[in-house]
């Protein structure tokens, strides 16, 4: 076995999870074999480093690279066999479902992950928030175990101060999402979870944003928003890292991404329905009421953005961005 191999996250080959010792044996044969690794990982061994294709796990080398002596010498570029979208999503979730908790907000993205994973779920939100009510309704229908982390509005500024120092980009939207995820990750740490399965990436891959209904450049918009996922992932993992956890993202599995990219943009947003291909997959394993439900974004559904606006007004600011500058 390669001496000193350090693995953050997890590695798979051909849909099979590998143990750390198995990873070491493969790398002993040739470091270039890391190019065939799937999963969510950052690896260090004998002066080499490698990181998963989309850079889900933070690390000291660029996403999707193999590095030796500080130089990029190869690419991590898993080539999974052809599949259909249903099977790709099922495989992606299954590979991540041996441990952890599912962040369930009640929308189709997290509901589909939760339905396949069959793990404990958690929802966060202020008292009376939309997400808490919706997640409970979904969990009851799907017979899922659901815990609730109630966000105390009096702690939101505390959360903001913590996350602002870690964010790669500070905007009101990024800060509000990060503050919401802060309470998810805090709950995960308190309950012994390091992995948090989440639905991030589905909107960008399948056309989930409301603005996609009006755009005349849907394909370009989807490409631009997909490129931005790297910054979003860095944001979310920075927040999770505050609590020794990480977000595991089935929709950013290479299999799912490649299947999604093969779907024409006009099929993703059609007849007034956003994320149509994903909803069709979901409707085959849950009620259409859940599969086609259109949910608020997490910063609104959790009530965090509303509380941030209240905090800004109390400090005398009309804009949340100005308030963030004061506390950041």
Place of tokens 């974004």: 297
Cα dihedral sign for 241, 301, 269, 137? positive
pLDDT in the model for residue 81? 86
Alpha carbon distance 152, 302 (integer Å): 11
Measured from the Cβ of residue 303, the count of other Cβ atoms closer than 10 Å reads: 23
Structure tokens at 301: 């559904």
Closest CA to 82 of 267, 282, 262, 264: 262
Per the CB < 8 A criterion, the answer to whether 8 and 57 are in contact is: yes
Q: What percent of the chain has pLDDT over 70?
A: 99
Structure tokens at 4: 């000193």
Alpha carbon distance 51, 136 (integer Å): 36
Alpha carbon distance 143, 115 (integer Å): 9
Q: How many residues does the chain have?
A: 328
Place of tokens 């350090």: 6
| Average pLDDT estimate for 142-146 | 98
CATH superfamily of 85-306: HUPs (3.40.50.620)
Measured from the Cβ of residue 176, the count of other Cβ atoms closer than 10 Å reads: 26
DSSP calls for 269-296:
SBTTBSSHHHHHHHHTTS-HHHHT--PP
Position 142 confidence tier, pLDDT thresholds 50, 70, 90: very high
Query: What pLDDT, in 10s, does the model give residues 156-193?
Result: 999 999 999 999 999 999 999 999 999 999 999 999 99
Per the CB < 8 A criterion, the answer to whether 174 and 235 are in contact is: yes
Residue predicted with more confidence, 179 or 83: 179
pLDDT in the model for residue 297? 92
For residue 140, give every residue at least 6 positions away whose Cβ sits within 8 Å of its Cβ, in sequence order, or none.
Answer: none
| Average pLDDT estimate for 250-277 | 97
DSSP calls for 249-268:
-GGGSHHHHHHHHTS-HHHH
Alpha carbon distance 241, 93 (integer Å): 22
pLDDT at 2 over 60: no
- The domains of the chain are located at 6-75, 85-306
Full-model pTM: 0.94
pLDDT in the model for residue 1? 46
Query: What pLDDT, in 10s, does the model give residues 286-321?
Result: 999 999 999 989 999 999 999 999 999 999 999 999
Query: What pLDDT, in 10s, does the model give residues 202-232?
Result: 999 999 999 999 999 999 999 999 999 999 9
């Amino acid at each position: 076995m390669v001496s000193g191999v350090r693995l953050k996250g997890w590695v798979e080959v051909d849909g099979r999870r590998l143990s750390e010792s198995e990873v070491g044996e493969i790398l002993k044969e040739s470091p270039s074999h890391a190019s065939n690794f799937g999963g969510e990982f950052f690896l260090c061994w004998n002066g080499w480093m490698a990181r998963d294709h989309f850079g889900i796990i933070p690390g000291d080398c660029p996403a999707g690279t193999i590095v030796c002596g500080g130089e990029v010498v190869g690419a991590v570029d898993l080539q999974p066999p052809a599949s259909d979208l249903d099977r790709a999503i099922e495989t992606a979730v299954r590979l991540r479902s041996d441990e952890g908790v599912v962040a369930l907000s009640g929308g189709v993205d997290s509901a589909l992950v939760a339905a396949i994973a069959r793990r404990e779920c958690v929802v966060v939100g202020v008292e009376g928030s939309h997400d808490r009510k919706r997640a409970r309704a979904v969990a009851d229908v799907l017979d899922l175990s659901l815990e609730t982390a109630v966000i105390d509005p009096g702690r939101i500024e505390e959360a903001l101060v913590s996350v602002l120092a870690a964010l790669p980009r500070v905007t009101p939207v990024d800060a509000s999402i990060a503050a919401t995820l802060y309470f998810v990750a805090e709950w995960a740490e308190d309950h012994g979870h390091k992995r948090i399965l989440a639905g991030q990436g589905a909107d960008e891959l399948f056309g989930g944003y409301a603005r996609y209904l009006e755009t005349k450049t849907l394909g370009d918009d989807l490409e631009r928003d997909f490129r931005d996922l790297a910054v979003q992932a860095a944001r979310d993992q920075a927040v999770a890292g505050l609590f020794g956890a990480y977000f595991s993202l089935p929709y950013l599995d290479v299999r799912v991404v490649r299947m999604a990219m093969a779907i024409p943009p006009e099929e993703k947003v059609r007849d007034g329905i956003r994320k149509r291909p994903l909803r069709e997959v979901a409707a085959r394993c849950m009620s259409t009421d859940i599969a086609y439900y259109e949910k608020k974004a997490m910063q609104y559904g959790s009530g965090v953005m509303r509380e941030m606006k209240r905090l800004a007004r109390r400090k005398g600011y009309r804009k949340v961005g100005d308030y963030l500058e004061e506390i950041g």
